[in-house]
Structure 1
Amino acid sequence: MSAIFRSALRRQMAVRLTAAGIPGAELDARLLLAHALREDAGALLSDAPVAEEERLRAEALLARRLAGEPVARILGEREFWSLPFLLSPETLVPRPDTETVVEAALAHIGDRQAQLSVLDLGTGSGAILAALLVELPKATGVGVDRSEGAAITARDNLARLGLGARVLVFSGHWAAALAGPFDLVVSNPPYIPSGDIGGLDVEVRRHDPLAALDGGTEGLDAYAAIAADLPRLLKTGGIAVLELGIGQEAAVTGLLRHAGLTVPHPARRDLGGIPRALACVRP
């Protein structure tokens, strides 16, 4: 078999991804080939022959992508808030929309040098908590996840980012084991109605953990549990920011107000214009 060069193999991979209707084919091809070559994606700027074992690795990765596995799952890592996060089967892939939660939380904090306490419920990979601790250098944090595997992944990510000494991560059912109070509580809870799970994109339906997606019949089960706990978890004047699913702002606002919390502003919108991060305050 004649040698194939990196540029040619990358083009072939992109063509196959495009033919399969996968968006972002050029970027996916570059990332997958770089991973197969065990090099940084920038190394592909240097054209060189691809060894047979490298070609076979690239083919195997391409097959996974063509079958619907997200690139982040294949690479085992995803960037969030310009920080790298390792993934595991028990964690969601952090998404750009969720950065809206970080933005909303920071917008409500007056002094970023204050010694704040932060709680992340359903921490997953630890992405939200890590982003906040980076932006709040004197804050300490607690992360909780129902999945022990997710808690281990979050703990590892926070340690890799040099944040391990400022955080405690453990497995538990929401805030059942916590007394508080905290200055800031954040959460990206499961909010997909159970009946809608089957209609999700294959990348989500087959590869994200069900427990991190399924929010019960109306998608509100986790919000109800969190809202009930927030009055004891938050300090007076403390803030909570919850990620929302599409069309859930009114219902979640009602749950928070029923719990005695103040919702001072409409939800912060993500880049797509969808109300995504709802803040509330303990009066």
Structure 2
Amino acid sequence: MSILSLVNAACTRLIESGIRPEEAGLDAEVLARHLLGWDRATYFTERNRKVTRSFDKEYIALIARRARREPVAYLTGRREFWGLEFAITPDTLIPRPETELLVETVLHLRPDRSIDGVLVDVGTGSGCIAVVLAIEFPNMTIVATDISHPALAVAQANAKRHGVSERIEWRHGPQLAGLSGPIDLIVSNPPYVTTQAMQHLAPEVRDHEPHVALNGGTSGTRTLRALIAEASVKLVNNGSLVVEFGCDQEAVFRQVVNAAHLTDTQVIHDIQGLPRVGVATYRTNR
């Protein structure tokens, strides 16, 4: 049997497990390329080769796991974010394309890449946001926090891989605990799924990604509210909070930042036109 024939058979199995056809085809190919160490160009030129016994066994095992709805990123151990490859484990949330909007917003908010100051990434997970911003702002002190020791270990490995491990301070704890300030920028993709909505998430998310990084409590805004309250007392004058939230949480975001006396509120919409990222600034002369 050729590699292509095996991949096509795997695609059929994934479709039968409930995965969408367009996703199943790509997943089957990606997992084959992962095992073979091939890029896509090599795959297309070499896919008619006969499969080896070792490849056949390993590939079938991976496809069986994917059919049980394990995310591809956990099976390959990596995910691309901002054009960089990051190590990913079940201890970390899988970076989403919409979270790149968070980075884009920070870069638009602070167009001068030579600025210094302190930037805190709250709930760093795999460290993708902290690493990218450490690269983009070479003079800033980056602090990355997380309540998960295993996630911090993954983030530290990613920082080392991308040459910024010496630029980032790692803190274990919730939100801004242990950080007295002053802080110039606070960036976060906090948990914002409601407890009730958790049970309705796709199996890949509900059954495999860390709930601590997803579940935002009954309203979905538990961490968001706490973070805004802390930001209001730890930001420097003209310091800003940039945070991702659920598409139905814009009103809550505006209400809470207003109650915390933060100003210049902005809400940025994602590629689907949904409210996704909020910005609020602390000013002493507000």
Q: Which residue of 2 aligns with 1:270?
A: 270
8 Å contact from structure 1 (residues 179, 232) kept in 2: no
Q: Which residue of 1 aligns with 2:168?
A: 167
- How far does the alpha carbon of each residue in 1:145-166 deviate from its partner, in whole angstroms, 9 at most, with x for none? 0111111111111111101111
Alignment of 1:47-196 (within 5 A): 47=47, 48-196=49-197
Name the SS of the counterpart of 2:247 in structure 1. Answer: coil
**What letter matches 1:28 in structure 2?**
D
Where does structure 2 lack aligned partners over 5 or more consecutive residues? none
**What letter matches 1:150 in structure 2?**
A
Q: Write the distance in 1 (CA, Å) between the matches of 2:199 and 2:265.
A: 35
Name the SS of the counterpart of 1:170 in structure 2. Answer: strand
Q: Write the distance in 2 (CA, Å) between the matches of 1:77 and 1:116.
A: 31
Q: Write the distance in 2 (CA, Å) between the matches of 1:198 and 1:21.
A: 17
Name the SS of the counterpart of 2:104 in structure 1. Answer: helix
Q: Which residue of 1 aligns with 2:241?
A: 240
Shift of residue 50 of structure 1?
Answer: 1.1
**What letter matches 1:44 in structure 2?**
Y
Q: Write the distance in 2 (CA, Å) between the matches of 1:30 and 1:140.
A: 40
Name the SS of the counterpart of 1:90 in structure 2. Answer: coil
Identity of aligned pairs, percent? Answer: 38
**What letter matches 2:271 in structure 1?**
L
Note if 1:22 corresponds to 2:23. no
8 Å contact from structure 2 (residues 239, 282) kept in 1: yes
Q: Write the distance in 2 (CA, Å) between the matches of 1:165 and 1:142.
A: 11
- How far does the alpha carbon of each residue in 1:193-217 deviate from its partner, in whole angstroms, 9 at most, with x for none? 1121111110100111011111111
Equivalent of residue 5 in structure 1, options 2, 7, 14: 2
Where does structure 1 lack aligned partners over 5 or more consecutive residues? none
Greater shift in the superposed pair: 42-51 or 71-80 = 42-51
8 Å contact from structure 2 (residues 17, 68) kept in 1: no
Name the SS of the counterpart of 2:7 in structure 1. Answer: helix
Alignment of 1:36-47 (within 5 A): 36-45=35-44, 46-47=46-47
Number of equivalenced pairs: 279
Note if 1:225 corresponds to 2:226. yes
Q: Write the distance in 2 (CA, Å) between the matches of 1:103 and 1:116.
A: 19
Shift of residue 38 of structure 1?
Answer: 4.0
Name the SS of the counterpart of 2:279 in structure 1. Answer: strand
Name the SS of the counterpart of 2:265 in structure 1. Answer: coil
Name the SS of the counterpart of 2:144 in structure 1. Answer: strand
Name the SS of the counterpart of 2:243 in structure 1. Answer: strand
Q: Write the distance in 2 (CA, Å) between the matches of 1:10 and 1:127.
A: 31
Shift of residue 188 of structure 1?
Answer: 0.5
Shift of residue 231 of structure 1?
Answer: 2.0
8 Å contact from structure 1 (residues 256, 263) kept in 2: no
Q: Write the distance in 2 (CA, Å) between the matches of 1:13 and 1:116.
A: 51
**What letter matches 2:32 in structure 1?**
L
Q: Write the distance in 2 (CA, Å) between the matches of 1:35 and 1:264.
A: 44
**What letter matches 1:258 in structure 2?**
A
Shift of residue 261 of structure 1?
Answer: 0.6
**Superposition CA RMSD, Å:** 1.4
Shift of residue 41 of structure 1?
Answer: 4.2
Name the SS of the counterpart of 1:133 in structure 2. Answer: helix
Name the SS of the counterpart of 1:185 in structure 2. Answer: strand
Q: Write the distance in 1 (CA, Å) between the matches of 2:281 and 2:67.
A: 45
- How far does the alpha carbon of each residue in 1:117-163 deviate from its partner, in whole angstroms, 9 at most, with x for none? 21001110111111222222322200000111111111111111101
Name the SS of the counterpart of 2:8 in structure 1. Answer: helix
Greater shift in the superposed pair: 65-74 or 30-39 = 30-39
8 Å contact from structure 1 (residues 263, 281) kept in 2: yes
TM-score, normalisation: structure 2: 0.93
